[in-house]
A and B are shown apart, each in its own frame.
Chain A
């Protein structure tokens, strides 16, 4: 049987193909999961894709866990306001994602330059496929922050629990600072149950941190950013991230 592997989930901060899409020009460097793979001498199954939200990250990571002999799972969770939709994509992406923080749809699809509430109402209300018994007349809007927090917490807690029950090592962290109300998050019934999560609860106001913000504050954008028009972590930043994660794991 093959040696155990590390499984990684995430968004563009983790996607090994991200450097090819760097702006203003394509680059070629190793991302943090590949550095960790080298340090631990393990094969890396990197399921991360640019643009993914946490629903997509959850399912793709879990699928990889179930299909491999796994030593450790790393998930760098992304922006919480992304909404993923399962689609049958020719390039096996599996999900298309709407970022409620942006004025247009991410990925290479049509852009929705109108507001997202209108998109939700057009897509899911005036549609014969959607069943609803008693509130046909309401206008559908994008989910609330409370709903978004509940859903993301479910995915984060579920991943942690599954790894624990399967006796697989697990380390989580947050790439982009979530655009959520810290005082709603802090009231969540299982905020205290989240473990093995670097920087939890992610937001400064309640004593946490996320990688994008903490790296920028410590090193400055010019040192760790790809370019003035691309805020993703550059080659140096990925080495720093990998070392920080290893340090957290006490390796």
Chain B
């Protein structure tokens, strides 16, 4: 049986429903739905919390361990501000968010740990786009079909204390790799520059009914089916 290899964060992690709030749920995520559509075994490397460095390495490791029998690689990239740290127990990820004054807490963590500030927006863009481009090139080189998409807005609206998407959009459209990204549904990810991400797509098509609950902004069962159909449609056209 051919395999599909999948990378991502909580939007893709097959264990995510068990940790849904306010109570655990049980449903299939988009990779498993696509696996059924294509009649393929699914190697789902996604883990809740992962940033793109972790997604890159875990997906690539799975590619190499299954190299003889891969039908397709799908990566749903995560927030670009997340920072992954490799430990014996796997990756641990710092997830800076706007809520609860976490910008200041993130900076405090960086000062305490490295005596240096959190990376700036240009550094985040350069690093993440390197991973995205590298994955695309490797799949192409190995002759493996590849589809990418962005789960949510790439940078939370507080990096460098900026509360708008415009500075990110401005930097990304000037990046030398912007025109080289292929097979990426919704690229360049932000509506400011003509792109979209999965949250945008769900909001547009389903209003707020895609969320698990008011307190849990992950895609629910219906949304996972919707996401699977959209990615499948994009990757087979």
Inter-chain contacts of B67 with A (CB < 8 A): 189
Kindly name the residue among A140, A142, A164 whose own CB sees the greatest number of chain B CB atoms within 10 A. Answer: A140
Pair B113/A123 contact, Cβ less than 8 Å: yes
Give B82-138 interface residues, CB cut-off 8 Å to A. 83, 85-89, 92-96, 102, 105-106, 109-110, 113-120, 123, 126-127, 130, 133-134, 137-138
Choose among B15, B83, B114 the residue that contacts A109 (Cβ–Cβ < 8 A).
B114
Q: How distant is B16 from chain A, measured CB to nearest CB, in Å? A: 9
Q: A85-B85, A130-B94, A162-B137 are in contact. Are A150 and B116 (CB under 8 A)?
A: no
**Does B176 lie at the interface of the complex (its beta carbon under 8 Å from any beta carbon of A)?**
yes
**Does B27 lie at the interface of the complex (its beta carbon under 8 Å from any beta carbon of A)?**
no
Inter-chain contacts of A88 with B (CB < 8 A): 116-120, 123
Q: How distant is B53 from chain A, measured CB to nearest CB, in Å? A: 8
Inter-chain contacts of B110 with A (CB < 8 A): 87
Inter-chain contacts of B118 with A (CB < 8 A): 87-88
Q: Which A-chain residue is minimally distant from B58 (CB atoms)?
A: A150
Inter-chain contacts of A58 with B (CB < 8 A): 130
Q: Tell me the complex Cα distance, A63–B95, Å.
A: 24
**Does A59 lie at the interface of the complex (its beta carbon under 8 Å from any beta carbon of B)?**
yes
Give A200-241 interface residues, CB cut-off 8 Å to B. none
Pair A143/B88 contact, Cβ less than 8 Å: yes
Give A4-32 interface residues, CB cut-off 8 Å to B. none
Partner-contacting stretch, out of A43-51, A131-139, A168-176: A131-139
Pair A129/B88 contact, Cβ less than 8 Å: no
Interface residue count on the B side (C-beta < 8 Å): 47
Inter-chain contacts of B123 with A (CB < 8 A): 86, 88, 94
Q: Which A-chain residue is minimally distant from B49 (CB atoms)?
A: A131
Q: Tell me the complex Cα distance, A59–B123, Å.
A: 10
Choose among B48, B92, B113, B138 the residue that contacts A161 (Cβ–Cβ < 8 A).
B138
Pair B141/A164 contact, Cβ less than 8 Å: yes
Inter-chain contacts of A140 with B (CB < 8 A): 87-89, 92
Q: Tell me the complex Cα distance, A102–B26, Å.
A: 47
Q: Tell me the complex Cα distance, A164–B114, Å.
A: 36
Q: A62-B130, A85-B114, A130-B94 are in contact. Are A151 and B137 (CB under 8 A)?
A: no
Q: Tell me the complex Cα distance, A59–B119, Å.
A: 14
Pair B88/A165 contact, Cβ less than 8 Å: no
**Does B60 lie at the interface of the complex (its beta carbon under 8 Å from any beta carbon of A)?**
yes
Q: Tell me the complex Cα distance, A107–B120, Å.
A: 21
**Does B57 lie at the interface of the complex (its beta carbon under 8 Å from any beta carbon of A)?**
yes
Q: Which B-chain residue is minimally distant from A65 (CB atoms)?
A: B176
Q: How distant is A34 from chain B, measured CB to nearest CB, in Å? A: 25
Pair B65/A189 contact, Cβ less than 8 Å: yes
Q: A62-B130, A66-B177, A87-B114 are in contact. Are A161 and B60 (CB under 8 A)?
A: no
Q: How distant is A101 from chain B, measured CB to nearest CB, in Å? A: 16
Inter-chain contacts of A143 with B (CB < 8 A): 86-88
Pair B87/A120 contact, Cβ less than 8 Å: yes
Inter-chain contacts of B133 with A (CB < 8 A): 162
Q: Tell me the complex Cα distance, A87–B92, Å.
A: 17
Kindly name the residue among A85, A125, A138 whose own CB sees the greatest number of chain B CB atoms within 10 A. Answer: A85
Q: A120-B87, A123-B85, A128-B105 are in contact. Are A154 and B57 (CB under 8 A)?
A: yes
**Does A89 lie at the interface of the complex (its beta carbon under 8 Å from any beta carbon of B)?**
yes
**Does A67 lie at the interface of the complex (its beta carbon under 8 Å from any beta carbon of B)?**
yes
Q: Tell me the complex Cα distance, A139–B115, Å.
A: 24
A-B contact pairs, 10 of them (CB 8 A): A62-B130, A63-B130, A88-B116, A109-B114, A124-B92, A130-B95, A133-B48, A140-B87, A147-B86, A162-B134
Report B's interface with A, CB cutoff 8 A: 15, 19, 48-49, 56-57, 60-61, 64-65, 67, 83, 85-89, 92-96, 102, 105-106, 109-110, 113-120, 123, 126-127, 130, 133-134, 137-138, 140-141, 176-177
